[in-house]
Amino acid sequence: MKPVWVLASLVLGACHAPVASAPAPKPSVPKSPPALPDPVLTSHDGRQLRFHDELVRDRCVVIQFLYLNCENICPPTTRRLQELQALLEPEEQRRWRFLSISLDPGNDTPESLAAFAARWQAPPGWLYLSGEPAAIADLRRALGERLALASETEDPLTHSASVIVGNDARGDWRVLPSTLSAERMLATLRRLAR
């Protein structure tokens, strides 16, 4: 009987012994997509710009992928992003960069991008961009667009109805539905910018 009593004492004693507390886990912050690609893109004003190093690094950005000749989701998305930019305070407008990236670089030349930007009255700081098709596909994948790419579908105008927003300095990125109201997008941008 004695060995059982000793074993029970050891087990119960271990339950009441002080335990060293483990350090509390740090809050997790969503991480930046691994190694964002850094292709050279051409802006609507003819400049050659590196995507990550010159347009995104340490910035807050709103990214839209579009077709200039799209008549479905692209025009309402562009309009909603204009509403969003108009809701930003002047200081916020300087902080956030808006990038609209063509999904049809073969047809969407810098000249057609410039005409589109003029038609939509793109404010300063909003860039319309184009690049090599493979580079654009890599960007879409890296930024979290999960729908089939146009080159993989029968309909060349198939693309995501989403807007990508991020704070590169914090590594915090979100994919928002383009149907979200400008006011709800604004709330997300303000949370990301903190």
Number of domains into which the chain is organized: 1
Per the domain annotation, does 137 fall within a domain?
yes
Which positions ≥6 away from 155 have C-beta within 8 Å?
none
Query: What is the residue whose two structure tokens read 């109805």?
Result: 161
pLDDT at 157 over 70: no
74-87 and 182-193 helices, crossing angle to 10°: 60
Per the domain annotation, does 22 fall within a domain?
no
Banded pLDDT at 155 (limits 50, 70, 90): low
Per the domain annotation, does 157 fall within a domain?
yes
**pLDDT confidence of residue 29:** 39
Per the domain annotation, does 4 fall within a domain?
no
pLDDT at 153 over 80: no
The pLDDT tens digits for 10-50 are: 333 333 334 344 443 333 334 445 578 999 999 999 999 99
Per the domain annotation, does 87 fall within a domain?
yes
Angle (CA) 65-32-84 rounded to 5° is 45
Count CB-CB contacts under 10 A for residue 35.
Answer: 8
Per the domain annotation, does 145 fall within a domain?
yes
Which positions ≥6 away from 30 have C-beta within 8 Å?
171, 172, 173, 174
Per the domain annotation, does 14 fall within a domain?
no
Per the domain annotation, does 16 fall within a domain?
no
Query: What is the residue whose two structure tokens read 């995507």?
Result: 51
Dist CA 87 CA 179 (whole Å): 17
The pLDDT tens digits for 50-63 are: 999 999 999 999 99
Q: pTM, whole model, 2 decimals? A: 0.77
Percent of the chain with pLDDT over 90: 53
Taken as a whole, the chain contains a residue count of 194
The pLDDT tens digits for 99-146 are: 999 988 888 889 999 999 999 998 888 999 999 999 998 898 888 875
Whichever domain contains 60, its CATH number is 3.40.30.10
Domain that holds residue 128: 31-193
Angle (CA) 121-151-110 rounded to 5° is 30
